[in-house]
Amino acid sequence: MRGISFCLNGKMAHFRKYYSNSTALSHIVPPVTTIKGILAGILGYERDEYYEEFANCKCKVALKIKNPLKKVTQTMNLLKVESLNHLNGAGLNRTQNHTEFIIPKDIRTGNICYEVVFYHKDEKIMKALEEKLCQKSNVYLSEMISIALGSAQCLGWISNGKVVELAEKSSEDNIINIYSAVVVDSIEKISLENNDSVNFFKEETVTEFTANRLITEKSRIDILLNLNDKPLALILKENTKYFLMNNEENIMFLE
């Protein structure tokens, strides 16, 4: 089984939680639906016209944190814009809003880096993504348009696109090192041996929408991550599927 691996990079990110209202809370990693949207944009799909083509039954996404991350909260002045005259900030209708941003642990020298592993049943889509993401280029890979890591002001870029070989495995009663985010419901036990450098983080992600942009049943799942770019030592529930990538690292698709 062949997949495509690539990295999403940037200095800061904001993946707003769908239930966030007065305070703009952020997922620490891009939701699966966000990754699907980025890939659909690279392929030229129009907004809201790719949900069925990128349904969970047709494609799979795995996600790894490559550099240590942290969250910060920044107070922002938001304008209530009701006409073009309000765009210069001269109006009095300002709102103080606390916004979460994801930044590298050392923002002076580091970058955010998420590694995405993607698989689609449609060979045409895989071939098109391979041509877009795995080429050597000095311009943005998304048709010369930069990638937004959530909010439009959080610009990023794609790097290290490559084709990878994925060998399907089935879990037994033994400890497995998983390098990607893991679905919480698939975990039987977490091993704390040799896990001194692990920074556990649990959050919810959304994996797909319907054609009407509604969250599908069972598409909200809890995932477990390590913010320190180290594998998770886990005992998975019996017969849980995971994949060995290029005979080197174990990953799990989020579905």
pLDDT value for 132: 87
The candidate with the shortest Cα–Cα distance to 8, out of 202, 200, 209, 142, is 142
| Residues 67, 111: Cα–Cα separation, whole Å | 7
Q: Tell me whether residue 41 is exposed, middle or buried, using C-beta atoms within 10 angstroms of its C-beta: 0 to 12, 13 to 18, 19 or more.
A: middle
Mean pLDDT, range 192-216, rounded to an integer: 82
Single pTM value for the model: 0.88
- pLDDT, one tens digit per residue, over 130-169 is 988 887 665 555 554 578 899 888 988 888 889 999 999 9
Amino acid at site 222: D
**228 vs 188, higher pLDDT:** 188
- 106 pLDDT higher than 90: no
| Residues 72, 103: Cα–Cα separation, whole Å | 7
Among 32-36, 156-160, 189-193, the range with the most confident prediction by mean pLDDT is 32-36
- 230 pLDDT higher than 70: yes
Residue indicated by tokens 């799909």: 45
pLDDT value for 92: 65
| Residues 205, 29: Cα–Cα separation, whole Å | 9
- 211 pLDDT higher than 70: yes
Mean pLDDT, range 65-90, rounded to an integer: 81
**27 vs 81, higher pLDDT:** 27
> Which CA distances in Å does 68 have to 72, 115, 175?
14, 13, 24
215 band by pLDDT with thresholds 50, 70 and 90? confident
Mean pLDDT, range 42-61, rounded to an integer: 91
pLDDT value for 195: 59
218 band by pLDDT with thresholds 50, 70 and 90? confident
pLDDT value for 144: 45
- 95 pLDDT higher than 50: yes
